[in-house]
Chains A and B, each alone.
Chain A
Amino acid sequence: MAVHVQNKRKLFLDSYHQTNRAQRSREREAVAFIFSGEGGEVICSRRLDHRTIQIFDRQLMELSEHIKTANVEDAVLRQPLHPAARGTLCVTGHHLLFSDREESSPQHFLLLLRNIDAIEKRMSGSSGTITIKCKDLCVLQLDIPGMEQCLNIARSIETLSCLENVSEMYPFFYRPSDQSLKDQWGLSSTEKHYSQMTDLHDRWRVSSVNRDYSVCPTYPQAVIVPKDINDEMLVKAAKFRHGGRFPVLCYYHRKNGMVIMRSSQPLTGANRKRCREDELLLQAVIDGSDKGYIIDTRSSQQAQQARMTGGGFESKSCYSCWKRLHRQVERGKALQESLIKLVEACGNDSHNMDRWLSKLENSKWLSHVQTALSTAGLLAECVERDGHSVLVHCSEGTDSTLLISTVAQLIMDPCCRTLEGFLALLEREWVQAGHPFQKRCAHSAYSHARLQQESPVFLLLLDCVWQLLHQFPLALGFSEALLLRLATEAYASSYGTFLCNSDKERCVSRVKEKTLCLFQALLRPKERRCYANPLYERTELAIWPSVHPQSLQLWRGYFLRWTQQARHLEEAQEEIRNMVILWEKMALT
């Protein structure tokens, strides 16, 4: 994330400089400056107490071995939509800091190293050029004098941008002045969520069978299950599901009492194993109603094949009241490759129209958006129109399962469409439900590294939500800016929210005690102003998206974010905001 900081920062740096710590290297200065918080407010140097400095020192010792050249004078920075600037470049443990030489209004440019997806270096004579491709799709160029300096900087960036150890990552060191570690981490919990839904209480209960994460390592400690199923049965059902992800409740539809459950695939294997407890659990979900639907987000062939490797699907004979529907929603490698192709197509201005359209088609990204939206629409239709409960799963139940259930909830439930509601939904369905963010978002579209478990499932979700926002500009309480912010934060963040792969891992790394929560930060009044949708008007109705190809559009705000075009659209958004403010002021008087 690039942050431009104004004169105030300079003032702060100057005053910091004067307070008898003059000998400190420029590098430390920069880090201290980073500690002052990107959020906006400038804190004065007095507030930088010893503890902070100590943390900083410790951090630096561990990472400083990777920094051979800490600062470079006379570097040139080229970023999209800005004129080239000459100034000083600093590398710290977690950031690149560039300060230009403008005497009157110095500009600082700050880039989280984690945000860097790939770099390319080109040497010519005594200087070198480093092209930095960020995970937020921004492409920057640095001209650095001195070959060795350039190579050093490049090497530092390469190492520091993909630290493996969670506890070394920036969120553990980020201490803005206006937020504190004592602030609540997270918006809600399973228990709180349960207690708010009183309609649920006579048939459903909160189980803490997973309190030590032994039943399912990727589930949170508490889950909502049918009242009739006791913990022992849950343990047995978990053994029958991939990764222990037994069916749990994720959404209760107040209008008709139907629910959405999610799980992973059943481990039926080649010889069609059964599990009595799993069958009872699902039977208890239906309870009295004639049938339920299972939406398997794999094609039927894929589900068949999964049996060879121990997985499988719910057969008709064992789950007689459940009707299974297969809709193939792409995830994993295919999705990652799709993103890479799309970004490549968007990055090349020299394509002619035919080439562009065929590249766009060839990337298949929009097809993935279409499938995801239509599958979510199908799920919502089963619940809202047909009045049946639905179980949704893929193989692991940590990717497309979450994607589909999240979009379906947005379609049906007005409570999920507010700013708070949406963030709470993401927390529940993605962070707590164990989407492996760290694995999936390790790299974005530019990396040449061999793909491991990267897959832009969360980005696909944000794109689907953007399509909803595009089709229903008045129905969602949050703006495109929020989606863009989330897309950036998921890949590189100062906050701890998207760290690790599951609740358990977060617990081990003590993320909740040692980092700040993004969702809380986004709800602060100042932030809220730019992430709320000024046109929002709550509607109780379901918002059924059109999935016709003509109705779906390339998310220009994201994929063409660093072009002039995006600026004009932002200006228009700003204009809308101003109009609404003016209007409200008039209505007030």
Chain B
Amino acid sequence: MEHLRTPKVENVHLLDRSSGQRRASVGTLYLSATHSIFVEDNPETRKETWVLHSMVNSVEMPSNSPAGSQLILRCKDFRVLQILIPQERDCLDIHASLVRLSRPEKYSELYCLSFNPNVNKEEREESWSFIDLMSDYRRMGVPNNLWVMTAANSEYRVCDTYPSELFVPKSAAPTIITGSSRFRSRGRFPVLSYFHQDTLAAVCRCSQPLSGFSGRCQEDEMMLQAVMRSNPGSDFIYVVDTRPKLNAMANRAAGKGYENEDHYTNIKLQFIGIENIHVMRSSQQKIIDVGEMRSPSMTDFLWGLENSGWLKHIKAILDAGVFIARAVADEGISVLVHCSDGWDRTTQACSVASLLLDPYYRTIRGLMVLIEKDWISFGHKFSHRYAHLDGDPKEVSPVMDQFLECVWQLSEQFPCAFEFNERFLLTIHTHVYSCQYGTFLGNSQRERKELRLPERTHSVWSQLWKDRVDFRNPLFKADLSQSQRVLRPNTTPYCFKMWKGLYSHIDKSMPPCQSPADFLSAMREESQQLEEELTNHQERIAALTGRPIVWEKTEVLKRRTTHLQQRHLGPDPPTSYIQPITGHGQAVALKQANQMALNKEPNLYLPTECHSKLKDHDPDDCSTCSDRESGVADLRSRSSSGGDYAKDPDWE
């Protein structure tokens, strides 16, 4: 609260380019402890725009214009909001408040600690046990006579970034484990990530060995032997170093490096060449810039895409996953994956491989489990990577963004193989950054325990599960050949596309593009309802007449989209807030704004709204409708002659 200087400013212009707005709307800006809230003046709509402070990436204040001072808010979900404030003083205040509020310094300032979604204590506790990793290990068939759980790390003594429950080869004695952990960066010794029951091969993960130029460790060598022996019938394992070979070699100078094939018997070393977090950070910035280009030519756009290198990195990660999945499924060879610390690239490669290997991870619940296992429990540093707290900007990197994009690219290639849709991925992306739930907070299991997050915050998974209807891919068909068993994606460059849903602001502004997926979802739901009705009627008729029913042939009905419209209105964003804010003075306004922030689900810019207008256009109302469907502003801006065709090119 102490950071709020001006809780309310009137006569503010807001332009939300990413939601397709072309003209700024006028309204009042409220600042609460957790949100900036913009309420349109227009008495009919009173549209509200909510921005969570923790979603704000940067606040810029470009030079003043005659109409007032400008603020540009760049959000972590890549939205850009332009705000025009009449008085410079107000603008400075808001700027200062937002700069402070968007960079919390302590965990206690985070939204998830004040967020209270109206559930009781039991429900909150249940939400934390919604995903149970042990049952996933059981599902994949461990523990068994090859892999066992070890108590070595139960107090986080061997490795403070690993979870307390870990699976290791049965033959790996505690001395081997501790010995190996001492020879691995951050103590991250080889442990099981995924066990493939069909071939008995496993995906294991660790960090780089502290080998330097010639160092070796007997326990670590035995550990790798044990991993191999846990896959009966195999006579070697792959060690996948996900770094470019050059980087790995450079690490040797710092006493780290990679496995020497002379010291380890029966390993095959494979470098994949995924770049480090710093390269990825700057690459993402470039693709964001591509997404923000106002009216680029095709050449500019494709050049920008190439220059960003982003798709190249995505391909590298997918290639890593494909290599591992092939080794495990086709060759039946276990794979040990590592990078430097084993929490970024390793996590990406292992989770992509699991996704390819196991259809379960392609379901809504399965993806949650996969993220909980490979990302959260194995100590991916969420708070550092996604800048939950003000900290070292060099620690920030879009590691999770890339994983989600890999999943998206796969779902584009196999449209029927995933139970969830793009919206699910985007929602997860938002929550990784939002700090609304405790799920992604902290950098390791140990840290989360110390923060007592399960007692003080809510878990996002059960909430997403509640909303699962919105996240369902209507085309998902588990029994289709492409959906079954191991996915074998094509990673030829032409199979990759820019993820417009995440990076393109233009596309969100396009006609509420008629979405077949939404249409089909609605349809599927309706058929189910009809089916139920039909059975009901049949039962009733049968009960009444005691005779079986013969159906007469009737005319085919015209598709009844009116039924479907309701569905497309989507989940209610704060626009359904009934009480208009009519603050008499700042205190009241502030109080109300805070209340709003605490009481209800804030709009986190899930791109669900745009689907709401899917089919409800009124043919009579051409003017507004065609404007909404219009790409013409777009068309004009494209023309090389400056856009206005009034320009006459006559030379006489």
Residues of A at the B interface (CB closer than 8 Å) are: 293, 300, 304, 315-317, 323-327, 345-346, 349, 351-358, 360-361, 364, 366-367, 370, 374, 377-378, 381-382, 384-385, 471-475, 535, 537, 539-554, 556, 560, 563-565, 568-569, 571-572, 575-576, 579-580, 582-584, 586-589
Contact = CB atoms under 8 A, between A and B. Distances in A.
A560 B622 contact: no
Contacts of A360: 302, 494
A553 B482 CA distance: 24
B302 A544 contact: no
Given A352-B493, A378-B639, A587-B557, A551 B650 contact: no
Contacts of A584: 556-557, 559
Contacts, number: 221
Contacts of A553: 497
Contacts of B527: 579, 582-583, 586-587
Interface string B621-643: 01001100111101100110100
A537 B561 contact: yes
A475 B297 CA distance: 27
Contact of A588 (B296, B312, B554): B554
Contact of A473 (B315, B504, B514): B514
B390 to A, nearest CB: 33
A572 B416 contact: yes
Contacts of A579: 474-475, 520, 523-524, 527
A374 B632 CA distance: 9
Contacts of B651: 300, 304
Contacts of A543: 511, 629
A546 B312 contact: no
Contacts of A356: 493-494
B495 to A, nearest CB: 6
A554 B649 contact: no
A358 B311 CA distance: 13
A588 B516 contact: no
Contacts of A366: 298, 302
B298 A552 contact: yes
B557 A572 contact: no
B510 interface: yes
Given A357-B311, A374-B639, A549 B530 contact: no
Contacts of A325: 645, 649
B622 A370 contact: no
19 contacts: A351-B492, A353-B496, A354-B306, A354-B309, A358-B303, A370-B638, A377-B631, A378-B639, A474-B516, A535-B516, A539-B617, A547-B631, A563-B492, A575-B475, A579-B475, A583-B523, A587-B526, A587-B557, A589-B530
Given A361-B306, A471-B510, A472-B513, A381 B413 contact: no
A471 B298 contact: no
A374 B311 contact: no
Contact of B523 (A304, A551, A580): A580
B630 A550 contact: no
A205 B561 CA distance: 41
Nearest to B648: A323
B506 interface: yes
B595 interface: no
Contacts of A551: 500, 506-507, 510, 631
B160 to A, nearest CB: 38
Interface band, chain B: 35 or more
A408 to B, nearest CB: 12
B291 interface: yes
A576 B477 CA distance: 11
B213 interface: no
Contact of B482 (A300, A385, A571): A571
Given A300-B649, A357-B306, A541-B617, A546 B634 contact: yes
Chain A, interface SS category:
helix
Interface of B: 291, 295-303, 305-306, 309, 311-312, 315, 413-416, 474-475, 477, 480, 482, 490, 492-498, 500, 504, 506-507, 510-511, 513-516, 519-520, 523-524, 526-527, 530-531, 534, 551, 554, 556-557, 559-561, 615, 617, 619, 622, 625-626, 629-632, 634-635, 638-639, 641, 645-646, 648-652
A560 B492 CA distance: 11
A541 B629 contact: yes
A535 B493 contact: no
B475 A550 contact: no
Contacts of A571: 415-416, 480, 482
A549 B296 contact: yes
Contacts of A542: 626, 629
Contacts of A540: 619
B489 to A, nearest CB: 9
B506 A546 contact: yes
B485 to A, nearest CB: 15
A551 B526 CA distance: 31
A361 B304 CA distance: 11
Nearest to B290: A550
Contact of B302 (A304, A324, A357, A583): A357
Contacts of A539: 617, 619
B223 to A, nearest CB: 36
Contacts of A565: 413, 490, 495
A544 B631 contact: yes
Nearest to B301: A549
Most buried by B among A352, A354, A553: A354
Contact of B301 (A550, A554, A560): A550
A349 B629 contact: no
Given A356-B494, A472-B514, A473-B514, A361 B295 contact: no
Given A550-B500, A584-B556, A315 B626 contact: no
Contacts of A576: 475, 516, 520
List of 3 A-B pairs having minimum Cβ-Cβ separation, nearest first = A549-B301, A356-B493, A572-B415
Contacts of A327: 639
Nearest to A475: B514
Given A537-B615, A542-B629, A353 B516 contact: no
Contacts of A475: 514
A472 B516 CA distance: 9
A217 B523 CA distance: 52
